[in-house]
Structure 1
Amino acid sequence: MSALVVEALCKSFGGLRAVDDVSFSLGETELLALIGPNGAGKSTCFNMLNGQIQPDVGSIRLYGDEIVGCPPRTVWRMGVGRTFQITATFSSMTVMENVQMALLSHHRRLRALLPFAGGQYRDEAMALLDRVGMASQAGRACGTLAYGDLKRLELAIALANEPRVLLMDEPTAGMAPRERLQLMRLTADIVRDKGVSVLFTEHDMDVVFGHADRILVMNRGRLVAAGSPAEVRANTEVQAIYLGSGALYAPEGAA
C-alpha cells in the first residue's frame, strides 16, 4: 500500500490555477522529491497535503484514509509530520523544551500539565535530539543556534508525533553545502530506520539528484515529469524548464 495517494488535486486563487490536476503517490519508506521553478505550485500542493489549504477538488488519502477536509492538527495526529522552509521554533525556549512541547501535544497533555512541562518526557526528547545530532545542545536557547542546527531541531520536533509520512519544505534552505548533505543523509537514515515515508521540496539539485528515490517535477501548476533521477535528468521538457537547454545535474564522472 502507498503511504500517500494524491488524485486530481486542483486549487485556484481567483483566476490563477496554482495546482492543476496533480496526481501522484508516495511509496512506503520512499524519499520522494517534488521540484520545479518558483511559482510552479509546489508550496500550494504541500499546504494542501497537511490541511493548511483545502483543495477545490481532488483526493488525498493517507494509508487509505481520506484527509481532505481535515484541519492541520487532525492531519498531524493521523501521522503526517512537517518541517517548514523557514524554521518555526520558540526562540526563547531551550532546545529540549521545544521538543518537550511537541511531545506534550502528541500525548495530549499540553494544557493540563503546562506548569510542569519542564519535567515531562525528558528521556523521549533527549532520544529525539540524539537522533538528529543535537543532544549536546539540549540546554541552549533556540535563539542562539546556528541556522543548520535549527533545521536539525525542527526535524526532531517533526518526529515527535512518530509520523508515518514526513513533509519537508525546502529542508536545506539557508544551509551551507556540507550541512545540506549531512541533513539529507540523516533524513535517509531515518527513512530506513524508522520506516517513515518522506516527500520533500528542494531547489538544490545536488541534494535532489543525490538522495531522492524518485522525482516529481511541477511547472505552472501541473505535474510535467515523474521518474527516477536518471529518467528526470534525461527528460527534455525538464531540461528546458530549468536551463533552456543542456542537462541537469549529473553525478561526478558521468558523461
Structure 2
Amino acid sequence: MSLLQVRNLKKSYGGVAAVADVSFDLPAGQLLALIGPNGAGKTTCFNMVNGQLRPDAGSIRLDGHELTTMAPRAIWRLGVGRTFQITETFSSMTVVENVQMALLSRERKIFHLWRPAAGFHRQEALQLLSQVGMESQADRPCSVLAYGDVKRVELAIALANAPRLLLMDEPTAGMAPQERHALMALTRKLVAERNIAVLFTEHSMDVVFSYADRIIVLARGKLIAEGDGPSIQANAKVQEVYFGAGTLGRKRSPA
C-alpha cells in the first residue's frame, strides 16, 4: 500500500473548481512532482494535503490515517514535514538554534522557557545539519547566510520531525542552477537513506525531469497526465498545456 493515498479530491471557490476529482498515490522512497501552468490548482492541492485547506470532498490518507479533518499540527505529528517557497526560518537565531527549536517542538517542550533552549538537543541538531551540509555554519545567524544555505537549513528543520512524508513547495525558487541541482541531489540522497516520500511543486522543468521519479500534471484543476519523465514529455495533452511556454524541456543530467 502506498504511504500517501489521495482520492477524488475537490475544492471550489465561488463556483470555480480549483481542484476537481484529483487522485494519486505516493509510496515511500519516491519523489513525486506536481506540475502545471499558473492556475492549475497545484498550490490548492498541495495545501489540502498539508491541512492548511479543508477539501470540499475526497480523501487524503497517510498510512491509513485520514488527514482531511486534521489540523496542520496534528498532521505534522503524524510525520509530515514541509518546506516553503519563501523560506521560514528565524533570521535572528543561529543556524543550530533554528533546528533546536524544531526538535523542541517535536517533543512539545516549546514553552518550557525556564531552561535555555540552546541547551537542548544540540548534538542531534548538529547531526541534522551535517546531513544537509551546514554543520560548519551551525553558529552563524541565519540572517547572514546565502539563500541556498537558508534552503538547506529549512530542510534540516523539516527533517527534525523524522517525517515519513516531506512536502516541498517550490524548493528551488530563487536559486541559481547549480544551487537548484545541489539541493535536489541532496533531497534524493535523503529520500534513499530515510525511505521517505517527497511531494514537490516546481516550475523549473530541468529540476522536475532530472529528479522526479514520477510526475503528475494538473490543468484547470484536473489531473491530465501521470507517469515518468519521458511519458509526460510525450503526452499530447501536456504538450498542449505547455505549448509555447518554453517550460517543458528535455530531461537533463543532474549537475
| Same fold (TM > 0.5) | yes
Q: Which residue of 2 aligns with 1:48?
A: 48
Partners of 2:64 and 2:114 in 1: CA distance: 35
Q: Which residue of 1 aligns with 2:194?
A: 194
Q: Which residue of 2 aligns with 1:179?
A: 179
Question: Secondary structure, in 3 states, of the residue corresponding to 2:162?
Answer: coil
Q: Which residue of 2 aligns with 1:208?
A: 208
Superposed displacement of residue 114, structure 1: 6.0
What amino acid maps onto 1:60 in structure 2? I
Q: Which residue of 1 aligns with 2:91?
A: 91
Change (3 A) 1:95 1:114: farther
Change (3 A) 1:107 1:243: same
- 5+ long unaligned stretches in structure 1: none
What amino acid maps onto 1:59 in structure 2? S
Superposed displacement of residue 246, structure 1: 9.2
Partners of 2:226 and 2:170 in 1: CA distance: 19
Correspondence 1:111-190 to 2 at 5 A? 111-113=111-113, 115-190=115-190
Q: Which residue of 2 aligns with 1:60?
A: 60
Deviations 1:168-193 (CA, angstroms, capped at 9, x unpaired): 00000000100000000000000000
Superposed displacement of residue 145, structure 1: 1.2
Is the aligned partner of 1:78 residue 2:78? Answer: yes
When the two chains are superposed, the root-mean-square deviation of aligned CA atoms in Å is 1.5
Question: Secondary structure, in 3 states, of the residue corresponding to 1:53?
Answer: coil
Superposed displacement of residue 113, structure 1: 4.2
CA contact (8 A) 1:217 1:224 kept: yes
What amino acid maps onto 1:229 in structure 2? G
TM-score, normalised to structure 1, is 0.96
Partners of 1:6 and 1:59 in 2: CA distance: 6
Q: Which residue of 2 aligns with 1:250?
A: 250
TM-score, normalised to structure 2, is 0.96
What amino acid maps onto 1:64 in structure 2? G
Segment of structure 1 superposing worse, 8-17 or 51-60: 8-17
Deviations 1:184-234 (CA, angstroms, capped at 9, x unpaired): 000000000011100101000010001110000001111110001110010
Partners of 2:246 and 2:218 in 1: CA distance: 19
Partners of 2:114 and 2:243 in 1: CA distance: 52
How many positions carry a matched residue from both structures?
253
Superposed displacement of residue 245, structure 1: 9.0
CA contact (8 A) 1:239 1:246 kept: no
Partners of 2:89 and 2:188 in 1: CA distance: 23
Superposed displacement of residue 243, structure 1: 2.0
Q: Which residue of 2 aligns with 1:15?
A: 15
CA contact (8 A) 2:164 2:196 kept: yes
Return structure 1 stretches of 4+ with deviation > 6 angstroms: none
Deviations 1:61-101 (CA, angstroms, capped at 9, x unpaired): 00111111100000000000000100011111111111000
CA contact (8 A) 1:239 1:245 kept: no
Partners of 1:247 and 1:119 in 2: CA distance: 47
Partners of 2:3 and 2:71 in 1: CA distance: 19
Percent of aligned positions that are identical: 62
Change (3 A) 1:252 1:173: closer
Segment of structure 1 superposing worse, 139-148 or 72-81: 139-148
Change (3 A) 1:129 1:24: same
Superposed displacement of residue 115, structure 1: 3.9
Question: Secondary structure, in 3 states, of the residue corresponding to 2:112?
Answer: coil
Question: Secondary structure, in 3 states, of the residue corresponding to 2:126?
Answer: helix
Partners of 1:171 and 1:246 in 2: CA distance: 20
What amino acid maps onto 1:230 in structure 2? P
Partners of 2:47 and 2:247 in 1: CA distance: 30
